[in-house]
Amino acid sequence: MSWLDGLRHRTHVLLHRSEYDAELAEERRFHRGMAQAEGRAGEGPDSEAYEAVRAPRGGGGGWRGRLSTLADRLGQDLRYALRGLARSPGFTSVAVLTLALGVGGNAAVFSLLDRLFNQPPPGVADAERLRRLYIQMPRWIREDGRSGNFPAYSYAAFSAIEALGGDAYDVAAWTPSREETLRDGTLAMPVHTTFVSHDYFNVLGVAAELGRLFGNAEARVDMPAPVAVIGHALWKRDFGLDPSVLGRTIRLASGDFTVVGVSAERFTGLDLSYTDVFLPLGAYSPSLQSPVPWYEGTTSYLLAVARVAADSDDAQLSERATAAYLRRGLPGRASQRIDSTEVILAGPIVERRGPGSRAGPRDRDRAVSISTPRRPPCRLSSSSGQVSS
Amino acid sequence: MPKSSDNPRSELLPGTLEMLILRTLAAGDLHGYGIARHIEQASNGVLRIEQGSLYPALERLLEKGWAKARWDRSPSGRRARYYTMTPSGQARLDRKVAEYERVVGAITQVMSET
Protein backbone atom coordinates (compact mmCIF):
# COMPACT_ATOMS: atom_id res chain seq x y z
CA MET A 1 0.00 0.00 0.00
CA SER A 2 2.69 2.46 -0.99
CA TRP A 3 0.20 5.10 -2.11
CA LEU A 4 -1.34 4.93 1.34
CA ASP A 5 2.00 5.49 3.03
CA GLY A 6 2.69 8.35 0.66
CA LEU A 7 -0.73 9.85 1.22
CA ARG A 8 -0.25 9.63 4.96
CA HIS A 9 3.03 11.46 4.62
CA ARG A 10 1.58 14.20 2.44
CA THR A 11 -1.40 14.65 4.73
CA HIS A 12 0.92 14.90 7.69
CA VAL A 13 2.98 17.52 5.91
CA LEU A 14 -0.10 19.50 4.97
CA LEU A 15 -1.72 19.37 8.38
CA HIS A 16 1.35 19.87 10.52
CA ARG A 17 3.37 22.08 8.25
CA SER A 18 4.98 24.26 10.88
CA GLU A 19 6.04 21.23 12.90
CA TYR A 20 7.25 19.64 9.74
CA ASP A 21 9.28 22.71 8.85
CA ALA A 22 10.85 22.53 12.29
CA GLU A 23 11.64 18.87 11.71
CA LEU A 24 13.32 19.66 8.42
CA ALA A 25 15.36 22.45 10.01
CA GLU A 26 16.42 20.11 12.77
CA GLU A 27 17.33 17.47 10.24
CA ARG A 28 19.52 20.01 8.43
CA ARG A 29 21.15 21.14 11.65
CA PHE A 30 21.90 17.53 12.43
CA HIS A 31 23.46 17.10 9.01
CA ARG A 32 25.62 20.21 9.41
CA GLY A 33 26.54 19.19 12.92
CA MET A 34 27.68 15.78 11.80
CA ALA A 35 29.62 17.26 8.91
CA GLN A 36 31.37 19.71 11.22
CA ALA A 37 32.12 17.00 13.74
CA GLU A 38 33.81 15.04 11.02
CA GLY A 39 35.67 18.09 9.80
CA ARG A 40 33.78 18.38 6.53
CA ALA A 41 31.97 21.63 7.26
CA GLY A 42 33.38 23.47 4.31
CA GLU A 43 31.92 21.09 1.83
CA GLY A 44 28.47 21.04 0.34
CA PRO A 45 26.20 23.90 -0.53
CA ASP A 46 25.17 26.53 1.93
CA SER A 47 21.71 26.71 3.34
CA GLU A 48 20.38 29.24 0.81
CA ALA A 49 21.17 26.95 -2.05
CA TYR A 50 19.60 24.14 -0.10
CA GLU A 51 16.47 26.13 0.57
CA ALA A 52 16.15 27.07 -3.07
CA VAL A 53 16.21 23.43 -4.02
CA ARG A 54 13.82 22.46 -1.25
CA ALA A 55 11.20 24.86 -2.47
CA PRO A 56 11.52 24.88 -6.23
CA ARG A 57 8.15 26.48 -6.90
CA GLY A 58 5.59 28.75 -5.35
CA GLY A 59 8.07 31.25 -3.95
CA GLY A 60 8.35 31.65 -0.23
CA GLY A 61 9.75 28.19 0.36
CA GLY A 62 8.73 26.19 3.41
CA TRP A 63 5.25 24.82 3.61
CA ARG A 64 3.93 27.29 1.08
CA GLY A 65 6.26 25.89 -1.51
CA ARG A 66 5.34 22.35 -0.63
CA LEU A 67 1.66 23.21 -0.64
CA SER A 68 1.79 24.74 -4.09
CA THR A 69 3.85 21.81 -5.30
CA LEU A 70 1.19 19.50 -4.00
CA ALA A 71 -1.53 21.63 -5.58
CA ASP A 72 0.38 21.55 -8.87
CA ARG A 73 0.59 17.81 -8.74
CA LEU A 74 -3.07 17.43 -7.81
CA GLY A 75 -3.95 19.78 -10.65
CA GLN A 76 -1.90 17.73 -13.08
CA ASP A 77 -3.56 14.53 -11.90
CA LEU A 78 -6.97 16.09 -12.24
CA ARG A 79 -6.32 17.39 -15.72
CA TYR A 80 -4.94 14.02 -16.72
CA ALA A 81 -8.03 12.29 -15.39
CA LEU A 82 -10.35 14.70 -17.16
CA ARG A 83 -8.50 14.27 -20.44
CA GLY A 84 -8.85 10.52 -20.04
CA LEU A 85 -12.57 10.85 -19.41
CA ALA A 86 -13.00 13.18 -22.38
CA ARG A 87 -11.22 10.68 -24.62
CA SER A 88 -13.77 7.95 -23.87
CA PRO A 89 -17.16 9.63 -23.65
CA GLY A 90 -18.97 6.30 -23.72
CA PHE A 91 -17.24 5.02 -20.64
CA THR A 92 -17.59 8.40 -19.00
CA SER A 93 -21.33 8.63 -19.52
CA VAL A 94 -21.87 5.07 -18.32
CA ALA A 95 -19.82 5.77 -15.20
CA VAL A 96 -21.58 9.08 -14.52
CA LEU A 97 -25.00 7.52 -15.08
CA THR A 98 -24.17 4.61 -12.81
CA LEU A 99 -23.05 6.93 -10.06
CA ALA A 100 -26.06 9.20 -10.54
CA LEU A 101 -28.49 6.29 -10.38
CA GLY A 102 -26.74 4.87 -7.35
CA VAL A 103 -26.73 8.14 -5.48
CA GLY A 104 -30.31 8.92 -6.48
CA GLY A 105 -31.56 5.48 -5.55
CA ASN A 106 -29.86 5.59 -2.20
CA ALA A 107 -31.26 9.03 -1.45
CA ALA A 108 -34.77 7.94 -2.36
CA VAL A 109 -34.64 4.78 -0.30
CA PHE A 110 -33.11 6.64 2.60
CA SER A 111 -35.80 9.30 2.65
CA LEU A 112 -38.50 6.64 2.48
CA LEU A 113 -37.02 4.64 5.35
CA ASP A 114 -36.42 7.84 7.29
CA ARG A 115 -40.07 8.75 6.91
CA LEU A 116 -41.17 5.20 7.79
CA PHE A 117 -39.09 4.72 10.88
CA ASN A 118 -37.74 8.04 12.12
CA GLN A 119 -39.59 11.15 11.09
CA PRO A 120 -43.05 12.23 12.15
CA PRO A 121 -45.32 13.39 9.34
CA PRO A 122 -44.12 16.80 8.12
CA GLY A 123 -45.84 20.01 9.06
CA VAL A 124 -47.50 18.94 12.30
CA ALA A 125 -46.87 20.95 15.44
CA ASP A 126 -45.24 19.41 18.54
CA ALA A 127 -45.03 15.97 17.00
CA GLU A 128 -43.57 14.54 20.22
CA ARG A 129 -46.96 14.92 21.90
CA LEU A 130 -48.87 13.22 19.09
CA ARG A 131 -49.79 9.55 19.44
CA ARG A 132 -51.28 6.98 17.16
CA LEU A 133 -53.92 5.00 19.02
CA TYR A 134 -53.97 1.23 18.79
CA ILE A 135 -56.35 -1.31 20.21
CA GLN A 136 -54.49 -4.13 21.90
CA MET A 137 -56.53 -7.27 21.48
CA PRO A 138 -55.13 -10.01 23.68
CA ARG A 139 -57.35 -12.61 22.07
CA TRP A 140 -55.79 -11.81 18.71
CA ILE A 141 -52.19 -12.17 19.73
CA ARG A 142 -50.71 -14.90 17.62
CA GLU A 143 -49.19 -18.05 19.05
CA ASP A 144 -45.71 -16.64 18.41
CA GLY A 145 -46.64 -13.66 20.58
CA ARG A 146 -46.61 -11.17 17.73
CA SER A 147 -48.82 -8.18 17.33
CA GLY A 148 -52.37 -8.25 18.47
CA ASN A 149 -52.52 -4.50 17.93
CA PHE A 150 -55.12 -3.05 15.70
CA PRO A 151 -54.95 0.54 14.43
CA ALA A 152 -58.49 1.09 13.18
CA TYR A 153 -61.68 2.16 14.89
CA SER A 154 -65.36 2.11 14.22
CA TYR A 155 -67.01 5.49 14.45
CA ALA A 156 -68.75 4.44 17.66
CA ALA A 157 -65.43 3.57 19.28
CA PHE A 158 -63.79 6.77 18.05
CA SER A 159 -66.56 9.06 19.23
CA ALA A 160 -66.59 7.37 22.65
CA ILE A 161 -62.86 7.99 23.00
CA GLU A 162 -63.25 11.52 21.70
CA ALA A 163 -66.03 12.33 24.16
CA LEU A 164 -64.03 11.26 27.21
CA GLY A 165 -60.81 13.06 26.34
CA GLY A 166 -61.47 16.02 28.57
CA ASP A 167 -58.27 17.74 29.60
CA ALA A 168 -56.11 14.63 29.13
CA TYR A 169 -56.04 14.47 25.36
CA ASP A 170 -57.64 15.56 22.12
CA VAL A 171 -58.27 13.01 19.46
CA ALA A 172 -59.00 13.13 15.77
CA ALA A 173 -59.79 10.53 13.15
CA TRP A 174 -59.08 10.17 9.47
CA THR A 175 -59.62 7.57 6.81
CA PRO A 176 -56.62 6.15 4.96
CA SER A 177 -56.24 8.24 1.84
CA ARG A 178 -57.61 6.90 -1.41
CA GLU A 179 -56.94 7.87 -4.96
CA GLU A 180 -59.64 9.34 -7.08
CA THR A 181 -60.14 11.85 -9.83
CA LEU A 182 -60.72 15.51 -9.16
CA ARG A 183 -62.69 17.45 -11.74
CA ASP A 184 -62.57 21.19 -11.86
CA GLY A 185 -64.36 22.47 -14.91
CA THR A 186 -62.62 20.78 -17.79
CA LEU A 187 -59.64 19.69 -15.72
CA ALA A 188 -59.33 16.19 -14.36
CA MET A 189 -56.46 15.09 -12.13
CA PRO A 190 -55.68 12.17 -9.91
CA VAL A 191 -55.66 13.13 -6.23
CA HIS A 192 -55.42 11.47 -2.86
CA THR A 193 -58.36 12.29 -0.63
CA THR A 194 -58.97 11.61 3.02
CA PHE A 195 -61.95 12.17 5.26
CA VAL A 196 -61.18 13.73 8.60
CA SER A 197 -63.01 14.48 11.79
CA HIS A 198 -63.71 18.19 12.26
CA ASP A 199 -60.97 18.48 14.92
CA TYR A 200 -58.26 16.95 12.72
CA PHE A 201 -56.31 20.11 11.91
CA ASN A 202 -56.64 21.43 15.47
CA VAL A 203 -55.26 18.24 16.98
CA LEU A 204 -52.35 18.18 14.56
CA GLY A 205 -51.68 21.88 15.01
CA VAL A 206 -51.89 22.60 11.30
CA ALA A 207 -52.87 26.10 10.25
CA ALA A 208 -54.65 27.31 7.16
CA GLU A 209 -52.49 28.85 4.46
CA LEU A 210 -55.58 30.39 2.93
CA GLY A 211 -59.26 30.49 3.89
CA ARG A 212 -60.34 28.34 6.81
CA LEU A 213 -60.16 24.77 8.07
CA PHE A 214 -63.04 22.66 9.30
CA GLY A 215 -65.15 23.97 12.15
CA ASN A 216 -68.04 22.83 14.25
CA ALA A 217 -70.32 23.31 11.30
CA GLU A 218 -68.65 20.27 9.74
CA ALA A 219 -68.78 18.16 12.91
CA ARG A 220 -71.96 16.28 12.12
CA VAL A 221 -71.11 12.85 10.81
CA ASP A 222 -74.65 12.13 9.69
CA MET A 223 -74.89 15.28 7.65
CA PRO A 224 -72.56 15.69 4.72
CA ALA A 225 -71.03 19.16 4.61
CA PRO A 226 -70.01 19.79 1.00
CA VAL A 227 -66.77 21.61 1.82
CA ALA A 228 -63.15 20.73 1.14
CA VAL A 229 -59.74 21.83 2.33
CA ILE A 230 -57.06 21.27 -0.26
CA GLY A 231 -53.38 20.62 0.36
CA HIS A 232 -50.78 23.22 -0.47
CA ALA A 233 -49.12 21.00 -3.07
CA LEU A 234 -52.34 20.60 -5.02
CA TRP A 235 -53.03 24.31 -4.77
CA LYS A 236 -49.61 25.05 -6.19
CA ARG A 237 -49.59 22.34 -8.84
CA ASP A 238 -53.06 22.57 -10.25
CA PHE A 239 -54.33 25.97 -9.20
CA GLY A 240 -51.12 27.95 -9.58
CA LEU A 241 -51.36 29.36 -6.03
CA ASP A 242 -54.44 31.30 -7.18
CA PRO A 243 -56.35 32.65 -4.14
CA SER A 244 -59.58 32.53 -6.12
CA VAL A 245 -59.59 28.78 -5.55
CA LEU A 246 -61.65 29.58 -2.45
CA GLY A 247 -65.31 29.13 -3.25
CA ARG A 248 -64.55 27.03 -6.29
CA THR A 249 -66.50 23.81 -6.66
CA ILE A 250 -64.53 20.65 -7.26
CA ARG A 251 -66.08 17.36 -8.22
CA LEU A 252 -64.97 14.12 -6.63
CA ALA A 253 -66.32 10.60 -6.55
CA SER A 254 -68.09 11.45 -3.30
CA GLY A 255 -69.84 14.47 -4.77
CA ASP A 256 -69.31 18.18 -5.28
CA PHE A 257 -67.37 20.18 -2.71
CA THR A 258 -66.70 23.85 -2.24
CA VAL A 259 -63.10 24.68 -1.47
CA VAL A 260 -63.03 26.64 1.78
CA GLY A 261 -59.34 26.57 2.58
CA VAL A 262 -55.78 25.52 1.83
CA SER A 263 -53.75 23.75 4.52
CA ALA A 264 -50.30 24.92 5.59
CA GLU A 265 -47.46 24.43 3.16
CA ARG A 266 -45.47 21.60 4.69
CA PHE A 267 -48.40 19.48 5.81
CA THR A 268 -49.19 16.53 3.54
CA GLY A 269 -51.51 14.50 5.72
CA LEU A 270 -50.62 11.59 7.95
CA ASP A 271 -50.35 8.95 5.27
CA LEU A 272 -47.22 8.19 3.30
CA SER A 273 -48.81 9.35 0.07
CA TYR A 274 -49.36 13.08 -0.08
CA THR A 275 -52.91 13.94 0.73
CA ASP A 276 -54.33 16.47 -1.71
CA VAL A 277 -57.91 16.92 -0.54
CA PHE A 278 -59.32 16.82 2.99
CA LEU A 279 -63.06 16.28 3.33
CA PRO A 280 -65.27 16.19 6.43
CA LEU A 281 -66.14 12.77 7.82
CA GLY A 282 -69.82 13.49 7.20
CA ALA A 283 -69.21 13.16 3.48
CA TYR A 284 -67.57 9.76 3.84
CA SER A 285 -69.15 6.82 2.11
CA PRO A 286 -67.21 3.58 2.13
CA SER A 287 -67.36 1.51 -0.97
CA LEU A 288 -68.60 -1.42 1.07
CA GLN A 289 -72.38 -1.51 0.98
CA SER A 290 -74.13 -2.09 4.27
CA PRO A 291 -77.74 -1.88 5.48
CA VAL A 292 -76.88 0.72 8.12
CA PRO A 293 -74.88 3.93 7.61
CA TRP A 294 -71.15 3.36 8.03
CA TYR A 295 -70.99 5.44 11.21
CA GLU A 296 -73.57 3.23 12.89
CA GLY A 297 -71.91 -0.04 12.00
CA THR A 298 -69.07 -1.82 13.73
CA THR A 299 -66.66 -1.79 10.82
CA SER A 300 -63.37 -0.03 11.60
CA TYR A 301 -62.89 2.61 8.95
CA LEU A 302 -61.03 5.18 10.98
CA LEU A 303 -57.47 5.72 12.15
CA ALA A 304 -57.00 7.78 15.26
CA VAL A 305 -54.39 10.29 16.36
CA ALA A 306 -54.32 11.92 19.78
CA ARG A 307 -52.52 14.90 21.23
CA VAL A 308 -51.53 14.31 24.82
CA ALA A 309 -52.16 17.34 27.02
CA ALA A 310 -49.03 19.00 28.39
CA ASP A 311 -49.72 17.91 31.96
CA SER A 312 -50.80 14.40 31.01
CA ASP A 313 -48.97 11.32 29.79
CA ASP A 314 -49.36 8.14 27.80
CA ALA A 315 -50.54 6.12 30.79
CA GLN A 316 -53.37 8.52 31.51
CA LEU A 317 -54.26 8.68 27.85
CA SER A 318 -54.32 4.90 27.63
CA GLU A 319 -56.37 4.52 30.80
CA ARG A 320 -58.97 7.08 29.93
CA ALA A 321 -59.27 6.05 26.31
CA THR A 322 -59.62 2.42 27.33
CA ALA A 323 -62.40 3.26 29.76
CA ALA A 324 -64.20 5.20 27.06
CA TYR A 325 -63.62 2.46 24.52
CA LEU A 326 -65.03 -0.27 26.73
CA ARG A 327 -68.13 1.79 27.39
CA ARG A 328 -68.80 2.49 23.74
CA GLY A 329 -72.23 1.81 22.43
CA LEU A 330 -72.58 -1.13 20.10
CA PRO A 331 -75.07 -0.20 17.47
CA GLY A 332 -75.84 -2.71 14.83
CA ARG A 333 -75.55 -6.39 15.49
CA ALA A 334 -76.30 -7.36 19.04
CA SER A 335 -74.32 -10.57 18.62
CA GLN A 336 -71.09 -8.65 19.02
CA ARG A 337 -69.99 -8.09 22.58
CA ILE A 338 -67.48 -5.85 24.16
CA ASP A 339 -64.26 -7.65 25.03
CA SER A 340 -63.12 -6.22 28.35
CA THR A 341 -59.55 -7.47 27.86
CA GLU A 342 -58.92 -4.92 25.11
CA VAL A 343 -56.78 -1.91 25.85
CA ILE A 344 -56.12 1.33 23.96
CA LEU A 345 -52.40 1.88 23.55
CA ALA A 346 -50.60 5.09 22.66
CA GLY A 347 -47.93 4.57 20.00
CA PRO A 348 -45.49 6.92 18.27
CA ILE A 349 -46.76 9.06 15.44
CA VAL A 350 -43.93 7.77 13.24
CA GLU A 351 -45.35 5.80 10.34
CA ARG A 352 -44.05 2.30 10.82
CA ARG A 353 -43.59 2.00 14.55
CA GLY A 354 -46.17 0.24 16.54
CA PRO A 355 -47.20 0.94 20.11
CA GLY A 356 -44.54 0.51 22.74
CA SER A 357 -41.67 0.67 20.27
CA ARG A 358 -39.06 3.34 20.68
CA ALA A 359 -35.96 2.12 19.02
CA GLY A 360 -36.83 0.06 16.02
CA PRO A 361 -39.37 -1.08 13.53
CA ARG A 362 -42.01 -3.30 15.00
CA ASP A 363 -45.51 -4.24 14.26
CA ARG A 364 -44.73 -5.11 10.70
CA ASP A 365 -48.08 -6.82 10.36
CA ARG A 366 -50.09 -3.73 10.87
CA ALA A 367 -50.72 -3.08 7.25
CA VAL A 368 -51.88 -6.65 6.87
CA SER A 369 -54.15 -6.50 9.86
CA ILE A 370 -56.01 -3.53 8.43
CA SER A 371 -57.33 -5.44 5.49
CA THR A 372 -57.34 -9.04 6.68
CA PRO A 373 -57.83 -9.56 10.38
CA ARG A 374 -56.23 -12.83 11.38
CA ARG A 375 -58.26 -15.53 12.91
CA PRO A 376 -57.94 -15.90 16.65
CA PRO A 377 -55.47 -18.57 17.69
CA CYS A 378 -57.99 -20.30 19.95
CA ARG A 379 -59.04 -23.72 18.85
CA LEU A 380 -62.67 -24.56 18.36
CA SER A 381 -64.07 -28.00 18.81
CA SER A 382 -66.30 -29.05 16.02
CA SER A 383 -69.40 -31.14 16.64
CA SER A 384 -67.66 -34.35 15.62
CA GLY A 385 -65.24 -33.95 18.50
CA GLN A 386 -62.26 -33.37 16.26
CA VAL A 387 -60.09 -30.39 16.87
CA SER A 388 -59.64 -27.92 14.11
CA SER A 389 -57.90 -24.64 14.06
CA MET B 1 16.54 16.89 -9.84
CA PRO B 2 19.01 19.73 -9.59
CA LYS B 3 21.68 19.79 -12.19
CA SER B 4 25.05 20.29 -10.68
CA SER B 5 27.12 20.66 -13.80
CA ASP B 6 29.70 22.61 -11.82
CA ASN B 7 30.41 19.51 -9.81
CA PRO B 8 32.02 16.87 -12.00
CA ARG B 9 31.82 14.21 -9.32
CA SER B 10 28.08 13.96 -9.03
CA GLU B 11 26.77 13.60 -12.55
CA LEU B 12 24.20 10.90 -12.17
CA LEU B 13 21.71 9.38 -14.53
CA PRO B 14 18.20 10.57 -13.71
CA GLY B 15 16.60 8.38 -11.05
CA THR B 16 19.92 6.88 -10.02
CA LEU B 17 20.13 8.78 -6.74
CA GLU B 18 16.82 7.34 -5.69
CA MET B 19 18.12 3.85 -6.44
CA LEU B 20 21.32 4.50 -4.50
CA ILE B 21 19.37 5.70 -1.48
CA LEU B 22 17.04 2.71 -1.56
CA ARG B 23 20.00 0.37 -1.94
CA THR B 24 21.58 2.01 1.12
CA LEU B 25 18.38 1.73 3.13
CA ALA B 26 18.07 -1.94 2.17
CA ALA B 27 21.00 -2.57 4.50
CA GLY B 28 19.21 -0.95 7.42
CA ASP B 29 17.62 2.24 8.73
CA LEU B 30 19.79 5.32 8.44
CA HIS B 31 19.58 9.10 8.80
CA GLY B 32 20.14 11.48 5.91
CA TYR B 33 23.76 12.26 6.72
CA GLY B 34 24.49 8.55 7.13
CA ILE B 35 22.98 7.83 3.74
CA ALA B 36 25.15 10.49 2.09
CA ARG B 37 28.26 9.21 3.88
CA HIS B 38 27.54 5.61 2.98
CA ILE B 39 27.11 6.37 -0.68
CA GLU B 40 30.26 8.47 -0.67
CA GLN B 41 32.33 5.83 1.05
CA ALA B 42 30.96 2.95 -0.99
CA SER B 43 31.86 4.84 -4.17
CA ASN B 44 35.32 5.68 -2.86
CA GLY B 45 34.46 9.36 -2.74
CA VAL B 46 33.29 9.57 -6.34
CA LEU B 47 29.63 10.08 -5.56
CA ARG B 48 29.23 12.94 -3.17
CA ILE B 49 25.55 13.67 -2.48
CA GLU B 50 24.79 17.26 -1.64
CA GLN B 51 22.17 18.21 0.88
CA GLY B 52 20.29 20.00 -1.89
CA SER B 53 19.89 16.75 -3.77
CA LEU B 54 19.67 14.32 -0.92
CA TYR B 55 16.77 15.77 1.07
CA PRO B 56 14.47 16.50 -1.86
CA ALA B 57 15.11 12.92 -3.01
CA LEU B 58 14.26 11.62 0.46
CA GLU B 59 11.13 13.74 0.49
CA ARG B 60 10.13 12.20 -2.83
CA LEU B 61 10.61 8.72 -1.42
CA LEU B 62 8.37 9.62 1.50
CA GLU B 63 5.71 11.02 -0.82
CA LYS B 64 5.79 7.92 -2.98
CA GLY B 65 5.49 5.74 0.08
CA TRP B 66 8.76 3.95 -0.65
CA ALA B 67 10.23 5.02 2.66
CA LYS B 68 9.06 6.11 6.06
CA ALA B 69 10.73 8.49 8.47
CA ARG B 70 10.87 8.54 12.25
CA TRP B 71 12.84 10.44 14.86
CA ASP B 72 15.31 8.48 16.93
CA ARG B 73 18.55 8.90 18.89
CA SER B 74 21.70 8.66 16.85
CA PRO B 75 24.71 6.88 18.38
CA SER B 76 26.13 10.31 19.20
CA GLY B 77 23.04 10.98 21.32
CA ARG B 78 21.50 13.62 19.08
CA ARG B 79 18.02 13.32 17.70
CA ALA B 80 18.08 12.29 14.07
CA ARG B 81 15.50 11.48 11.47
CA TYR B 82 15.86 7.86 10.44
CA TYR B 83 14.58 6.54 7.16
CA THR B 84 13.17 3.05 6.70
CA MET B 85 12.46 1.34 3.42
CA THR B 86 8.90 0.07 2.99
CA PRO B 87 8.01 -3.17 1.14
CA SER B 88 6.93 -1.10 -1.87
CA GLY B 89 10.32 0.62 -1.68
CA GLN B 90 11.94 -2.80 -1.91
CA ALA B 91 9.84 -3.58 -4.97
CA ARG B 92 10.82 -0.26 -6.48
CA LEU B 93 14.48 -0.96 -5.81
CA ASP B 94 14.26 -4.36 -7.50
CA ARG B 95 12.69 -2.79 -10.55
CA LYS B 96 15.20 0.01 -10.69
CA VAL B 97 18.14 -2.38 -10.34
CA ALA B 98 16.85 -4.53 -13.17
CA GLU B 99 16.41 -1.47 -15.33
CA TYR B 100 19.80 -0.15 -14.38
CA GLU B 101 21.51 -3.40 -15.25
CA ARG B 102 19.81 -3.46 -18.58
CA VAL B 103 20.92 0.09 -19.37
CA VAL B 104 24.47 -0.44 -18.13
CA GLY B 105 24.71 -3.66 -20.10
CA ALA B 106 23.55 -1.84 -23.21
CA ILE B 107 25.98 1.00 -22.67
CA THR B 108 28.81 -1.47 -22.09
CA GLN B 109 27.95 -3.22 -25.33
CA VAL B 110 27.96 0.03 -27.26
CA MET B 111 31.25 1.14 -25.69
CA SER B 112 33.03 -2.14 -26.26
CA GLU B 113 32.07 -2.14 -29.92
CA THR B 114 35.21 -1.48 -31.92
Please write the tens of the pLDDT for every residue from B50-75. Answer: 888 888 889 989 988 999 999 988 88
Chain A residues in contact with B69 (beta carbon < 8 A): 9
CB atoms A33 and B78 under 8 Å: yes
Other beta carbons within 10 Å of A224? 18
Q: Give me the phi and psi of A155, to 5 degrees please.
A: -60, -35
Q: What is the pLDDT of residue A389?
A: 39
Chain B residues in contact with A6 (beta carbon < 8 A): 62-66
Distance (Å) from the C-alpha of residue B101 to the closest C-alpha of chain A? 24
Distance (Å) from the C-alpha of residue A16 to the closest C-alpha of chain B? 15
Q: What is the pLDDT of residue B12?
A: 66
CB atoms A26 and B79 under 8 Å: yes
Chain B residues in contact with A35 (beta carbon < 8 A): 33
Q: What is the pLDDT of residue A343?
A: 86
Of B31, B63, B92, the CB nearest to A10: B63
Distance CA(B31)–CA(A27), nearest Å, equals 9
**Selection from A326, A331, A350, A278 nearest residue A128 by Cα:** A350
In chain A, the largest separation of any two C-alpha atoms, in whole Å, equals 117
Interface probe with B: pick from A1, A9, A76, most Cβ of B within 10 Å: A9
Q: What is the pLDDT of residue B19?
A: 92
Q: What is the DSSP string of A316-362?
A: HHHHHHHHHHHT----S-TT----TT-EEEEEESSTT--TT-SSS--
Distance CA(A143)–CA(A147), nearest Å, equals 10
CB atoms A3 and B32 under 8 Å: no
Q: What is the pLDDT of residue A214?
A: 92
Q: What is the pLDDT of residue A306?
A: 93
Distance (Å) from the C-alpha of residue B41 to the closest C-alpha of chain A? 14
Distance CA(A71)–CA(A55), nearest Å, equals 13
Chain A residues in contact with B56 (beta carbon < 8 A): 53-54
Distance (Å) from the C-alpha of residue B56 to the closest C-alpha of chain A? 6
Regarding beta strands A255-263 and A227-230, do their DSSP bridges make them parallel or antiparallel, or are they unpaired? parallel
Task: Using CA coordinates, name the residue in chain B closest to A51.
Answer: B52
Burial class (CB in 10 A: 0-12, 13-18, 19+), A231: buried
Interface of A with B in 16-75 (CB under 8 A): 23-24, 26-28, 30-31, 33-35, 37, 43-45, 49-50, 52-54
Q: What is the pLDDT of residue A352?
A: 67
Residue A219 φ/ψ region, left for φ over 0, alpha for ψ in the -120 to 50 degree band, beta for the rest: alpha
- B40-44 average pLDDT score: 90
CB atoms B31 and A35 under 8 Å: no
pLDDT grade for B6, boundaries at 50, 70 and 90: very low
Distance CA(A289)–CA(A361), nearest Å, equals 35
Distances (CA, A) of A213 to A90, A203, A348: 55, 12, 25
CB atoms B33 and A30 under 8 Å: yes
Distance CA(A227)–CA(A206), nearest Å, equals 18
Interface of B with A in 38-97 (CB under 8 A): 48, 50-53, 55-56, 62-66, 68-69, 71, 74, 76, 78-81, 86-89, 92
Distance CA(A302)–CA(A370), nearest Å, equals 10
Interface of B with A in 10-29 (CB under 8 A): none
Q: What is the pLDDT of residue A349?
A: 85
Distance CA(B46)–CA(B49), nearest Å, equals 10
CB atoms A33 and B32 under 8 Å: no
Interface probe with A: pick from B1, B9, B18, B33, most Cβ of A within 10 Å: B33
Count residue pairs from A and B with Cβ separation < 8 A.
76
Regarding beta strands A277-280 and A187-196, do their DSSP bridges make them parallel or antiparallel, or are they unpaired? parallel
Q: What is the pLDDT of residue A335?
A: 52
Query: Which domains, from first to last, does chain B contain?
Result: 12-111 (1.10.10.10)
Identify whether the C-beta of residue A268 lies closer than 8 Å to the C-beta of residue A235: no
H helix or E strand, kind and range, residue A153: strand A152-153
Chain B residues in contact with A7 (beta carbon < 8 A): 65
> Can you give the pLDDT of all 389 residues of chain A as single tens digits?
667 888 888 888 888 878 888 888 888 888 888 888 887 755 544 554 455 444 444 444 555 666 677 777 888 889 999 999 999 999 999 999 999 999 999 999 998 888 888 888 888 988 889 998 988 887 777 666 666 788 888 888 898 898 888 888 999 999 988 898 998 777 788 999 999 999 999 999 999 999 999 988 888 888 888 999 999 999 998 889 999 999 999 999 888 999 999 999 999 998 888 899 999 998 888 876 777 888 887 788 899 999 998 888 888 888 888 988 888 776 555 556 777 788 888 888 886 666 655 433 344 444 333 434 444 444 444 444 444 43
> ipTM for the complex?
0.77
Distance CA(A281)–CA(A168), nearest Å, equals 24
CB atoms B33 and A53 under 8 Å: no
Q: What is the pLDDT of residue A71?
A: 77
